[in-house]
Amino acid sequence: MSSEHFKGQYEVELKYRVQSKLEFLKVLQSMPHQVMLEDNVESDWYFDTPEQSLKANNKSLIIRDMQPSGIKLWIVKGPSADHCEATNITDSDAAKNMLKTMGYQVSLQASKIRSVYFVAQYHITLDYLDDIGHFAEFAINTDDESMLAQYKVELIALASQFGLTQAELEHKSYRTLIAEQILLPS
């Protein structure tokens, strides 16, 4: 397991809807891979200004707490889809309080069950969101902006080994999917 997989200011990521977690894991088991973690509960707190200026500028500020792994992260995404930076923190409650002191407020709170696997230089996350479904994210982080297009091609090829096609590609962020689910009438 290596944190090198998550270094870089750019992240090329493709997210697919997964119809069968069991079939997905069967394919994964047939190829060389490493397990970083399995079935962690990730709790995310999205912060924004009262005016929602981060969201308006296609940016996200997230404090993430993962259990039972104990990993805690400060994540900034955007404004481009490929821009993502994360750093480990030791106290997520203190970080949340600091953001509130600075005038930020929680705009969305979400959780998912996540497993993370490494296949070559790529990381694959298998996620489950209540009432929304299973997803697989195929990703790589890099500081080399010139490689973004090439990595996308390679990730599409990797996803195809799992039987995933353009038809299963999910373009909406988890933030959007969760917000839409919250807005659905009961």
Sign of dihedral through CA atoms 53, 175, 179, 71?
Answer: negative
Token pair of 64 as six digits: 């993430």
C-beta separation of 50 from 134 below 8 A: no
C-beta separation of 83 from 138 below 8 A: no
Active site residue 122: no
Q: What's the rounded Cα separation, in Å, for the pair 61 and 78?
A: 9
- Kindly name the residue from 10, 46, 117, 122 that is annotated as catalytic: 46
Name the residues annotated as catalytic. 46
